[in-house]
Amino acid sequence: MSHHHWFAVTVIERRSCAEVLSIAERHVTHIHDFYGAEQGVRIARKHVKAYLQRIAVDALQISAFNELETPRDQTSFLRECADADARMRAA
């Protein structure tokens, strides 16, 4: 494994769930902007699945995300998850 690859993995592993979800939300917004609502929603599903698996989100929540049909629903889902994680960490 090259040093550069190792560093990238290390940095990603240090992010909190809320941070990863915030990054995913921004990424999804860019996908929607680039591809448009209909195609963007479909493409975002695959990308978000990878983010959610990275932070050990269960399969039921991933399935729930995959059922969302609008850009607004997708970004709201990610924002709500990030907010919930931040509240749990603060408690």
pLDDT at 11: 52
Q: CB count, 10 Å around CB of 47?
A: 13
Q: Which amino acid is at 41?
A: V
pLDDT at 4: 52
* Residues of the chain with confidence (pLDDT) below 50: 1-2, 12
Cα dihedral sign, 43-8-1-53: negative
pTM of the model: 0.80
Residue 41 DSSP class: H
pLDDT at 5: 52
pLDDT at 37: 97
pLDDT at 28: 97
| Residue 30, both tokens | 């860019």
